Amino acid sequence: MRSDRAERTLQWIQFLKSDGGKIFSQIFIGGHHAAIIKRKLKNGFIIKDHSPEKIMETISEIADDQSVIFGFGNIAGMGKKIIDYLNRIGVEYGV
């Protein structure tokens, strides 16, 4: 979550606390407002790592083997680094 997008953070909290958020069994949160979101969600985990490799390693350790990892938020900064990392190491699935 970006420090300059507090209003967007509030929108995400509202969505994740609504029925829409029930589709996620676990929510991994990063960025400036992570602690605020974590306090509002029972299924939230704060990601404190600063490298895409460590972030994905942490998520992989917590998520079960049948998980589908879905990312949303700002595709800039760390979000862009994670996408670039996954593009380098990933295998195209063909969806």
Output 5 or 83, whichever has higher pLDDT. Answer: 83
How remote is the C-alpha of 19 from its chain's centroid? Answer: 18
With the CA atoms of 85, 48, 67 and 72 taken in that order, what torsion angle do they form, in degrees rounded to the nearest 10?
Answer: -70
Question: What predicted TM-score, i.e. pTM, was given to this entire model?
Answer: 0.75
- Measured CA to CA in angstroms, residue 14 lies from 37, 41, 50, 95 at distances of 10, 10, 27, 30
Continuous segment of H or E residues that includes residue 27: strand 27-29
Is the confidence at residue 93, as pLDDT, over 80?
A: no
pLDDT of residue 77: 81
Residue-wise pLDDT for 56-79, tens only, equals 999 888 887 778 877 777 677 888
